[in-house]
Chain A
Amino acid sequence: MRSVAETKSALESVGYLADEPAALVSYLAQELGKPVLVEGPAGVGKTELAKAISRATGRELIRLQCYEGLDEAKALYEWNYRKQLLHIQAKSASEDPAAPKKSAELETEIFSEDFILTRPLLKAISNPEPVVLLIDEIDKTDQEFEAMLLEVLSDFQISLPELGRIESRTHPIVVLTSNNSRELTEALKRRCLYLWLDYPELEREMEIVRLHAPELDEDLTRRLVEVISMIRDLDLKKPPSIAESIDWARALLLLGADDIDRETFTQTMSIIVKHRTDIDLVAERVGVRLGSPEPAAQPE
């Protein structure tokens, strides 16, 4: 990927239609070696972007899924204490008690790389091949964890108290995603390139759906995308994501539907709307419109 246009087509060839900013930022991420912070509502393809970059560049994807209470032991590394214990016991059993083993020697033995359990961050740093590191939903963790990430993100190195500093042998592409459920710290943002992904425009979403469900009739695709954008305008618990638009398109294909009328809609609605209260709301606001020949573009 040597230019923005090339990046764009590379991403497209692996099934991800990036818009101008997304392609540019992916290109810059590789070019400048800076992490990318991708924000936007749920289901606009933030995680998918990282996967697409990994496919397009042929790099392995290493994923760190964040959650509340994620700590170093789960994200960075952990000593394999069972193995260490076994090692100590095996040593003391096999050894002649008359020859006292130097404890310092034993210590260097059990605190070596053989006894480390690598977690995603360390794995990404120490990998001999260049990788794509996806840190998913960073906003779910607490600020302390963010602070710990800073060393990894700016210098691509990790300091282990027992082993010293581990520097990355290759430069990973780092993608962080956030649903914007809390404000991330300035320090983290400063180290990242920023990309805001939003629900795509009508035309682009049509292209995306057509890319993944090419057999679907063009008019029907347009209708589907229009209905979806109508639903997204409602105040829902969980608005339908792009992946769900694609699922819906495939379902319509399977059912052999040739139009989205009220009946097909009520039957297949559960694919795009996943909360009881949402289903009621959508049925009430969108379902009734579908029967009429001239549906209004905007719900009141």
Chain B
Amino acid sequence: MSLEPGLAPRIARFCEDLRAEGVPVGTSELLDAFAALDSVSWTDAADFREALAATIAKSPEDRRIFDLIFDRYFFRAAEAEAIDRELREDDRYSGGERLDADELREAIQQAIAEGREGDMRDLARLAIAAFGRRGEGSGVVGVDVQRIRRSLELTPTPPSEQQGEEPVIDRDGINRFERHLRRELERALIERTEKLPPSRPLAELDRTLPTSPTQDLASVHRAVTQLKRRLATLGHEQRGRRQHAAVDMRKTMRSSLETGGVPLRLRYKPKRPRRPEIIVLCDVSTSVTSASVFFLSVLHALHDSFRKLRSFVFIERISEVTEVFEDERDFREISRRISREGGVADVSGYTDYGRVWREFATEVADDLHPRSTVIVLGDARTNGREPHAEIFAEVSERAGRTFWLNPEPKLYWNYGDSVMSAYEEHCTAAFECWTTKHLEEFVNVVAGGRSQPES
């Protein structure tokens, strides 16, 4: 391999950083990266980055972390080199004083609106020169960035004023400009102190970036897809008897060749795991308002994945909403229809778990069998009414498995009118579930078969 001598250890260290952030980089990926850099001119910044990304980051999630780490790592590497060789840029802040603040602002707005990264960087330097007290800010980069942004009066253009000659700036553009400011300030700080600050792990916020509800929905969908695969292959293959096996003609004929064309041995079609039947009950009362949107989106995602799924929503009584989910695709429309025609908007609006179980037992319990899975999404707050845990116990007895997802942190269980413990003992397992991360944990536990005594 004809790699530049200094490069290989650098890239290996870069991969270390990635591993520390949870990107699975194996030795084979590392070798691929070297091989790729061998055939790509690595002096081209874009090619270098893409070649590394193609060999190392193997999901959109990993790619995002890759980009963040890449910027951090190679920026730091370059700065460390500069300190080593005592390179300085002394006159970087000249010319700032002569600039008019308004002109500067306009130039920056223009650059942001047109997305010219190079100009943004130069202007960030100018802005630091103009407002950064000649590079001697507070010493805390974040504070300086905000101070300079405020002095520049950079704010996103509200949608109502998006017309006329004023360039349109969105939050994204300002973030990009702030990133340039931050980088330039960091560079100045490193030059002044002649050492690198310790590298920080990426903040959780940087990594997950849950910016829009649709994106959140996407991560719910991802967790549910996993759930689907695991439920579908879990322990059911073994059940059922051999007597229904179907003969596989093709394989039988093939094996008959060994015996000169006489089919002595029958070959059977392999047993496909049976699809599980899932029944989901979702609390939509006022006490779980914030969580019910999340739960409905879980339901929504489940409906996309399972054909045999019945869903119910409940407050005081239960109401089957399977059809609503099958008819409608738009999530907002679904929540509207459920609140309107779900038939659950009862008199008081308070959950009555006891009644819910009674109704569930009479209406649905006959359809339950050992292959069905019941998932309850609710906070187990009965508003002081009788919980009827014994009926719930019957239900979970009939169903193969019963899971309870509670939107409250475990800490609040059994406080006030929560009767979680009464139900929990009858469940296969109960989980707190108020972020997609919890949902993923639920999926993992279900798949790992822990807290599952009977299977």
> Among residues 128 to 161 in chain B, which have CB atoms less than 8 Å away from a CB atom of chain A?
159
Q: Is the CB of B55 within 8 A of A190?
A: no
Q: Is the CB of B40 within 8 A of A190?
A: no
> Among residues 237 to 264 in chain B, which have CB atoms less than 8 Å away from a CB atom of chain A?
250, 253-254, 257, 260-261
Q: Is the CB of A189 within 8 A of B58?
A: yes
Q: Is A116 an interface residue (CB 8 A)?
A: no
Q: Is B60 an interface residue (CB 8 A)?
A: yes
Q: Is B63 an interface residue (CB 8 A)?
A: yes
Whether A85 touches B54, Cβ cut-off 8 Å, given contacts A28-B36, A193-B32, A277-B329, is no
**CA distance in complex: A25, B49 (Å):** 12
Q: Is the CB of B329 within 8 A of A237?
A: yes
Kindly list chain B residues whose C-beta atoms are within 8 Å of the C-beta of A24: 40, 47, 50-51, 54
Q: Is the CB of A21 within 8 A of B53?
A: yes
Q: Which of B23-31, B285-293, B355-363 contacts A (4 or more CB under 8 A)?
A: B23-31
**CA distance in complex: A298, B261 (Å):** 69
Q: Is A235 an interface residue (CB 8 A)?
A: yes
Q: Is A67 an interface residue (CB 8 A)?
A: no
**CA distance in complex: A275, B60 (Å):** 28
Give the nearest-CB partner of A84 in chain B. Answer: B257
**CA distance in complex: A85, B257 (Å):** 7
**Contact with A4, one of B32, B47, B327 (Cβ below 8 angstroms):** B47
| Closest beta carbon of chain B to A66's beta carbon, Å | 16
Q: Is the CB of B54 within 8 A of A190?
A: no
Q: Mark A193-225, 1 if CB is under 8 A from B, else 0.
A: 111100000000000000000000000000000
Q: Is the CB of B32 within 8 A of A34?
A: yes
Whether A88 touches B261, Cβ cut-off 8 Å, given contacts A24-B51, A73-B250, is yes
Kindly list chain B residues whose C-beta atoms are within 8 Å of the C-beta of A31: 39
**Contact with B54, one of A181, A193, A235 (Cβ below 8 angstroms):** A193
**CA distance in complex: A277, B40 (Å):** 47
> Among residues 103 to 147 in chain A, which have CB atoms less than 8 Å away from a CB atom of chain B?
103, 110
**CA distance in complex: A193, B32 (Å):** 9
**Contact with A28, one of B40, B46, B260, B328 (Cβ below 8 angstroms):** B40
Name the residue in B32, B58, B250 with the highest tally of chain A Cβ atoms < 10 Å from its Cβ: B58
Q: Is the CB of A32 within 8 A of B36?
A: yes
Q: Is the CB of A88 within 8 A of B257?
A: yes
Q: Is the CB of A235 within 8 A of B331?
A: yes
Q: Is the CB of B60 within 8 A of A25?
A: no
Whether A194 touches B261, Cβ cut-off 8 Å, given contacts A4-B47, A32-B35, A81-B254, is no
**CA distance in complex: A236, B229 (Å):** 24
Q: Is the CB of A183 within 8 A of B226?
A: yes
> Among residues 276 to 300 in chain A, which have CB atoms less than 8 Å away from a CB atom of chain B?
277-278, 281, 294, 296-298
> Among residues 1 to 52 in chain A, which have CB atoms less than 8 Å away from a CB atom of chain B?
3-4, 20-21, 24-25, 27-28, 31-32, 34, 37, 39
Interface size class of B (residues with CB under 8 A): 35 or more
**Contact with B57, one of A73, A85, A194 (Cβ below 8 angstroms):** A194
> Among residues 301 to 328 in chain B, which have CB atoms less than 8 Å away from a CB atom of chain A?
327-328
**CA distance in complex: A107, B359 (Å):** 67
| Closest beta carbon of chain B to A149's beta carbon, Å | 16
Give the nearest-CB partner of B229 in chain A. Answer: A182
Interface of B is mostly: helix
**Contact with B260, one of A20, A81, A88 (Cβ below 8 angstroms):** A88
Kindly list chain A residues whose C-beta atoms are within 8 Å of the C-beta of B36: 28, 32, 193
> Among residues 75 to 119 in chain A, which have CB atoms less than 8 Å away from a CB atom of chain B?
79, 81, 84-85, 88-89, 103, 110
Q: Is the CB of A85 within 8 A of B261?
A: yes
> Among residues 59 to 104 in chain B, which have CB atoms less than 8 Å away from a CB atom of chain A?
59-60, 63
Q: Is B199 an interface residue (CB 8 A)?
A: no
Q: Is A192 an interface residue (CB 8 A)?
A: yes
> Among residues 149 to 184 in chain A, which have CB atoms less than 8 Å away from a CB atom of chain B?
181-183
Q: Is the CB of A235 within 8 A of B26?
A: no
**CA distance in complex: A236, B330 (Å):** 7
Give the nearest-CB partner of B232 in chain A. Answer: A142
Q: Is the CB of B47 within 8 A of A192?
A: no
**CA distance in complex: A296, B162 (Å):** 9
**CA distance in complex: A191, B28 (Å):** 8
Q: Is B214 an interface residue (CB 8 A)?
A: yes
Whether A195 touches B54, Cβ cut-off 8 Å, given contacts A85-B257, A181-B225, A190-B29, is yes
Kindly list chain A residues whose C-beta atoms are within 8 Å of the C-beta of B35: 32
**CA distance in complex: A69, B229 (Å):** 14
Q: Is the CB of A196 within 8 A of B60?
A: yes
**CA distance in complex: A190, B55 (Å):** 9
**CA distance in complex: A208, B46 (Å):** 22
Q: Is the CB of A194 within 8 A of B40?
A: no
Whether A32 touches B39, Cβ cut-off 8 Å, given contacts A21-B53, A88-B261, A190-B26, is yes
Whether A196 touches B63, Cβ cut-off 8 Å, given contacts A4-B47, A21-B53, is yes
Kindly list chain B residues whose C-beta atoms are within 8 Å of the C-beta of A27: 39-40
| Closest beta carbon of chain B to A262's beta carbon, Å | 22
Q: Is the CB of B50 within 8 A of A20?
A: yes
| Closest beta carbon of chain B to A42's beta carbon, Å | 14
**CA distance in complex: A65, B107 (Å):** 53
**CA distance in complex: A110, B257 (Å):** 9
| Closest beta carbon of chain B to A139's beta carbon, Å | 10
Give the nearest-CB partner of B217 in chain A. Answer: A235
Give the nearest-CB partner of B222 in chain A. Answer: A183
Q: Which residues of A contact B (CB under 8 A)?
A: 3-4, 20-21, 24-25, 27-28, 31-32, 34, 37, 39, 69, 73, 79, 81, 84-85, 88-89, 103, 110, 181-183, 186, 189-196, 235-237, 275, 277-278, 281, 294, 296-298
Other A-B pairs beyond A28-B55, A189-B59, 15, CB < 8 Å: A4-B47, A25-B50, A34-B32, A84-B257, A85-B257, A110-B257, A182-B226, A190-B29, A190-B58, A194-B53, A235-B214, A236-B329, A277-B328, A277-B329, A297-B162
8 A-B contacts (beta carbon < 8 Å)? A21-B53, A21-B54, A24-B47, A24-B50, A28-B54, A190-B28, A193-B54, A277-B329
Q: Which residues of B contact A (CB under 8 A)?
A: 24, 26, 28-29, 32, 35-36, 39-41, 46-47, 50-51, 53-55, 57-60, 63, 159, 162-163, 214, 225-226, 229, 250, 253-254, 257, 260-261, 272, 327-331
The 9 closest A-B pairs by CB, nearest first: A194-B58, A31-B39, A189-B58, A193-B54, A24-B50, A21-B50, A25-B54, A81-B253, A277-B329
